[in-house]
Amino acid sequence: MASPLKQFTIEPILDLNIGETDISFTNSSLWMVITALVLIIFVAVGTRRSSIVPGRWQSAVEYFYQVVADMVRDNVGSGGRPYFPFIFALFMFILFGNLLGLIPGSFTFTSHLAVTFAMAAFIFIGVTLIGIFTHGLKFFSLFFPHGAPIVSAPVLIPIEIISYFSRPISLSVRLFANMTVGHVLLKVIGGGVVALGSFYILPGIVPFMALVAITILEVMIAVIQAYVFAILTCIYLNDALNLHH
Amino acid sequence: MELEAAKMIGAGLAAIALAGAGVGIGIIFGNYLSGAMRNPSAAQKQFPNLLLGFALAEATGLFGLVIALIILFAF
């Protein structure tokens, strides 16, 4: 039986090279394109003939819009409205990527640290720049908790700086690790179903039921992780825009 | 000791981190449930915080698991 980690191999579909750099179109890129297309079709067709009383498809799109709009309003406040399209696109892209990755035989691009870290690094740099452009040098008061005694500064400031710079790492590793571990678990238990079920029908049913339960759990994790990624982006944005308020 | 055996033991030790994640997730859901029983009307509003706490607690355990995977497959 193939290793449970074989599902994460990246295979080039179209070999492309610029000088020494390999920019091949891989199965990872293919699934990102598929995710973006499914997302565009879902949102565009859902709102194409929008009516005041929404149909089934339009309600589904409006539900997602509502969830993200509430998230931005509760966590960032009115200053976050210009960033709503970005958060919405981010949430939907990760959500659809996670969910499409659960289809057997497909590829989960969020299970690669390269993908999640690129997203987290862009968010980190963008949020830091937004903070510096809105507040100027006052932005660096973020590294000293409001109201703490000034004597504690030599201890608190290094801790705050380390915690600030570990944000992109924790943000990306959380999504990557959840997706990788979930898919490995599905594969390992699926291997158990095949190994037991091909010899005896009855013992194969028990791990199969476990597999069904874990698939439901994985769908839940896929939604929760997309939600958490978006909500943490909102919290970081709130720190940069509102500085401890 | 053989390097292979040491890697296996190290990966196993790194996976102990998940015990802490289990305790943390249990505390979060247990406390949410007891709070929701006391004041059901406030429960729905705190549900996003529950998910956030769940994800933050789970992530710390998964960092340990990532270390285990790195030990097993990257070295």
Domains of chain B: 3-74 (1.20.20.10)
Task: Answer left, alpha or beta for residue A9, where phi above 0 means left and psi between -120 and 50 means alpha.
Answer: beta
Q: What would the two tokens of residue B9 be? A: 């033991």
Interface of B with A in 38-57 (CB under 8 A): 48, 51-52, 54-56
Q: What is the mean pLDDT of chain A?
A: 87
- Check pLDDT > 70 for residue A123: yes
DSSP letter (8 states) at residue A103: S
Higher-confidence residue of A245 and A213: namely A213
Count of CB atoms situated within 10 Å of the CB of A37: 11
Q: Confirm if A90 and A72 have CB atoms less than 8 A apart.
A: no
Question: Comparing C-alpha atoms, which of A5, A173, A121, A211 is closest to residue B65?
Answer: A173
Q: What's the pLDDT tens digit per position in A44-77?
A: 988 887 778 888 889 999 999 999 999 999 888 8
Angle between helices A56-75 and A84-101 (to 10 degrees): 120
3-state helix, strand, coil in chain A (%, to 5): 80, 5, 20
Say how far apart CA A38 and CA A100 lie, in whole Å: 9
Angle between helices A84-101 and A201-242 (to 10 degrees): 170
B65 part of contact set with chain A, CB < 8 Å: yes
Q: What's the pLDDT tens digit per position in A11-54?
A: 888 887 787 777 888 888 999 999 999 999 999 988 887 778 88
Strands A17-18, A21-22: parallel, antiparallel or unpaired by DSSP? antiparallel
A–B CB contacts, 8 A cutoff, strictly below: 38
Cα A134 off chain centre by: 27
Question: Comparing C-alpha atoms, which of B20, B75, B19, B29 is closest to residue B52?
Answer: B29
Which chain B residue has its CA at the smallest distance from A235's CA? B52
pLDDT of residue A121: 95
B25 part of contact set with chain A, CB < 8 Å: no
Name the stretches of chain B with pLDDT < 70.
none
- Check pLDDT > 70 for residue A198: no
pLDDT of residue A18: 80
pLDDT of residue A84: 93
Question: Comparing C-alpha atoms, which of A110, A118, A105, A232 is closest to residue A182?
Answer: A110
pLDDT band at residue A79 using 50, 70 and 90 as cut-offs? confident
Question: Comparing C-alpha atoms, which of A119, A129, A68, A79 is closest to residue A97?
Answer: A119
Which chain B residue has its CA at the smallest distance from A179's CA? B62
Say how far apart CA A46 and CA A48 lie, in whole Å: 6
Which chain B residue has its CA at the smallest distance from A178's CA? B62
- Check pLDDT > 90 for residue A128: yes
pLDDT of residue A35: 94
ipTM of the complex: 0.78
pLDDT band at residue A245 using 50, 70 and 90 as cut-offs? low
Q: Measured between CA atoms, how close is A221 to chain B, in angstroms?
A: 9
- Check pLDDT > 80 for residue A197: no
Task: Answer left, alpha or beta for residue A24, where phi above 0 means left and psi between -120 and 50 means alpha.
Answer: beta
- Check pLDDT > 80 for residue A185: yes
Question: Comparing C-alpha atoms, which of A64, A119, A63, A110 is closest to residue A90?
Answer: A119
How much of chain A exceeds pLDDT 70, in percent?
Answer: 97
pLDDT band at residue A199 using 50, 70 and 90 as cut-offs? low
pLDDT of residue A37: 95
Q: What would the two tokens of residue A31 be? A: 């699934």
pLDDT band at residue A1 using 50, 70 and 90 as cut-offs? low
3 state SS of A192: helix
Q: Where are the beta strands (DSSP E) in chain A?
A: 12-14, 17-18, 21-22, 25-26
